[in-house]
Chain A
Amino acid sequence: MVYKFTKNPEKRTLPRMEAMAKWMKKNLFSTKANTVLSLFLIAGLIKIFTPIFTWLFVDATWIGDAAACREGSGACLAFINEKFTYIIFGPYPREEVWRPALTMFLMFALLWWSKEPSRWSKKLIKWWAGFVILGWILMSGGLGLAPVKSTSWGGLPLTLVLSFVGIFISYPFGIALALGRRSQMPFIKSICVIYIELIRGVPMISLLFMSSVMFPLFLPEGVSIDKLLRAQVAIIMFISAYMAEVVRGGLAAIPKGQYEAADALGLNYFQTMRFIILPQALKIVIPPSVNTAIGMLKDTSLVIIIALFDLLSTTKASLKDPEWLGFSVEGYLFAAFIYFILCFSMGKYARRLEVEFHRGHKNREVQI
């Protein structure tokens, strides 16, 4: 895709169909060999996707019960219909489901609002802080709302809480660890190195296990720490180590001259980092940190092994309903669809940010 900031007026006036024909001629049918290859591939795609389309939409059972689904030959969309609320909200009390729904809506609205870097300000941070407090009250109750324990949280809100809170909190931790690892002070440096290498040396499952299976055994009688909180801490610890390495890559890419220039200006360490190094380094690491974030969003589905009901777990539990056994393909496709939307939009947004931030530095078109 080519991003141009000076829009080509000529290109805009071309009618849609004509533009498409032009594009096809250029990209698909430029030579004889290419034409044959294109036709062959298009035929292949049609051959593959027609049965899938027929199964998913044409032959699908849209409404009805499990028996109607078993009669039909297509996908059982009635299953998704029946289980929709459970898959999305999990065990959250039915009559209170509007609360996580509203929380998610507010979150997406706020994300949409803050996507323009020009709106990034102290005020926006205040908005987000306000949202976190409001979201917490909405989800867990208080101020006249019935209390809902975190054990009843589930589905998409839980996935979002685990991954977004994990990613946002681990980002500053990651920066601190990365700076620590490049520090001249041996004590701080070794602590950071040990932490990063230790955490990166074990799979996330083992951290989750430690937090949910081993950790409670160390606590004195009667003391139990919230299961969700334990998992969240484990996830933050895990992502921090990865973020640290991502940020370190950015720090290493900054030329020595920048440090020297900062020294020459008489800036101290924190000023150098705050005003010179980090703004450049963090810009460089946008792609790898989004990569990590996407990976982590998907990794949160591992909490299934400690029986937290995130999006994938609620899907799995829905598949075990004795009345609706045997519709796993439909269930998993639905979950995959939601994960795809989340990950794809994150990736898309990151590409936009890159372009935006590189505007000052590079005059050529950024080809991505």
Chain B
Amino acid sequence: MNLFKALCLVLLLISQAAYAGKTFDAIKKRGEIKCGVTTGIPGFSVPDSKGKWTGIDVDVCRAVAAAMFGNPEKVTFVPLSSQQRFTAIQSGEVDLLSRVTTHTLSRDTSLGLNFAPVTYYDGQAFMVRKSDGIKSAKDLNGATVCVQQGTTTELGLADYFRANRMKFKSVVYEANDEVAQAFVKKRCDAFTTDASGLAAERTRFKNPSQYIILPEVISKEPLAPAVRHGDDKWFDIVKWTVYALLEAEEMGMTSSNVDGFKKSKDPNIKRFLGVTKGNGKALGLSETWAYNIVKKVGNYSEIFEKNIGKKTSLKLERGLNALWKDGGIMYAPPLR
């Protein structure tokens, strides 16, 4: 195993040296972005019945394509398994990894990735039956909790109860489906995994409205798009595309009303939409890059609501993912 690790390390070093080239130029020349996504996670990246990719991660790729080419369809989606994903981005098989990947120190450094701003703050949470009257995770003292075996979730569960000096009994299962089934059959009082995963499982239950997800999120899983080291220009574009999505929501621009903003006298809006020139040139894009993102893909709120929000079967709350002024932690630096 050590030999294997050493081999991987050597390969990584080689690959980084080899790919210090210009991703941006390569993409421009190719005329489309190659974007790594999952093979199917509800609400994040999943093909619909017509084979068209949908989800938050997918829309982020489309937004980057809209910024670069003015056309959100200039993307090839490359489905990647979780084992493949880092090699794929390192070896240049994809230009952008938008695949429910948690931003961590080791990935940012030794794996040779640069993470753009977080597009979804996920984290471990609990689901309980509404009829039990539990309102907060702090009420779970003495509860039995269903959890998947050998996951970070299992460790997170133990840590949380220990830190809060509460007792619990865990009921562990091998597969996530079994955990969900056990919870439905009342083998346990609560079911824990990542909040988005809980929401997805809940849609499969017979009466989804009888279950609630408790507001406490007990671990940090900031999911962010990533690019490889070596091309800061490309990194900047991805980074500011995500910021532009947030900024557009903050300014109240949506894909349907953005044209009206073009006549605005607000200097911030003028800069954002490229009426006052500067931002586009700085990024190496056309001045209408941000306009294209909003017009053709939408703002962050639109993407969120369309894929995982209240109107979808996942019914996720904005929570931490609301803008800073609405009580969340989504915040874009000034685009000037």
Contacts and interface: CB of A to CB of B under 8 A. Distances in A.
A193 to B, nearest CB: 24
Given A86-B47, A321-B42, A322-B313, A213 B203 contact: no
Contacts of B266: none
Given A220-B18, A304-B39, A322-B313, A83 B203 contact: no
Interface string A202-232: 0000000100111011111110100100000
Contact of A217 (B15, B21, B79, B177): B15
Contact of B204 (A149, A318, A326): A326
B43 A322 contact: yes
B312 A216 contact: no
A316 interface: yes
B90 interface: yes
Contacts of B12: 217
Interface in B178-215: 200, 203-206
Contact of B81 (A91, A307, A318, A322): A307
A317 B81 CA distance: 12
Interface residues of B, number: 43
A265 to B, nearest CB: 54
A305 interface: yes
B203 A224 contact: no
B81 A316 contact: no
A48 to B, nearest CB: 22
A118 B20 CA distance: 61
B40 A316 contact: yes
A299 interface: no
Given A216-B87, A217-B91, A307-B39, A322 B177 contact: no
Interface in B26-50: 26, 39-43, 46-50
Contact of A92 (B51, B80, B200, B313): B51
B40 A320 contact: yes
A269 B319 CA distance: 77
Contact of B26 (A222, A307, A323): A222
B49 A317 contact: no
B200 A307 contact: no
B14 interface: yes
Residue from the set B21, B39, B50, B90 with the largest chain A CB neighbour count within 10 Å: B39
Given A320-B46, A322-B200, A328-B177, A224 B83 contact: no
A322 B203 contact: yes
Interface of A: 66, 70, 82-83, 85-86, 89-94, 149, 151, 209, 212-214, 216-222, 224, 227, 304-307, 309, 313, 316-323, 325-326, 328
Interface of B: 11-12, 14-15, 18-19, 21, 26, 39-43, 46-51, 76, 78-81, 83-84, 87-88, 90-93, 177, 200, 203-206, 307-308, 312-314
16 contacts: A83-B49, A86-B49, A94-B51, A213-B83, A214-B87, A217-B14, A217-B15, A217-B90, A218-B11, A219-B91, A221-B19, A307-B39, A307-B78, A307-B84, A322-B314, A325-B42
